[in-house]
Amino acid sequence: MPKDESIGALWECGSQKGNTYMKGVINGVKVIIFKNRYKKEHKQPDWKVFIPKEKKVKQDEEIPF
C-alpha cells in the first residue's frame, strides 16, 4: 500500500472573539480556513478555504526590512 503524500500543513488558531480557525500552506499556497457559520443544509461545507490577500504597502510607506 503506498504512503499518503503530504501536500501541506495547518495550524489551529483562535481569534480574539474565541472562534477557531486554521492557517497554513497547501501545495505552496498560503491558506486560511474558517468554520462555515452559515451552514444550514447537509450539502453545504463545514469549513471554507481562502487565500489571504497580501497586505499592500502604500507608496510613501517605508518598507520594513
Q: What is the pLDDT of residues 9-64, one digit of tens each?
A: 999 999 999 999 999 999 999 999 999 999 999 999 999 999 998 766 566 656 55
Whether 42 contacts 36, CB under 8 Å: no
**Three-state DSSP state, 65:** coil
pTM: 0.71
Please name the residue ranges forming H helices in the chain. Answer: none
Q: How confident is the model at residue 2 (pLDDT cuts 50, 70, 90)?
A: confident
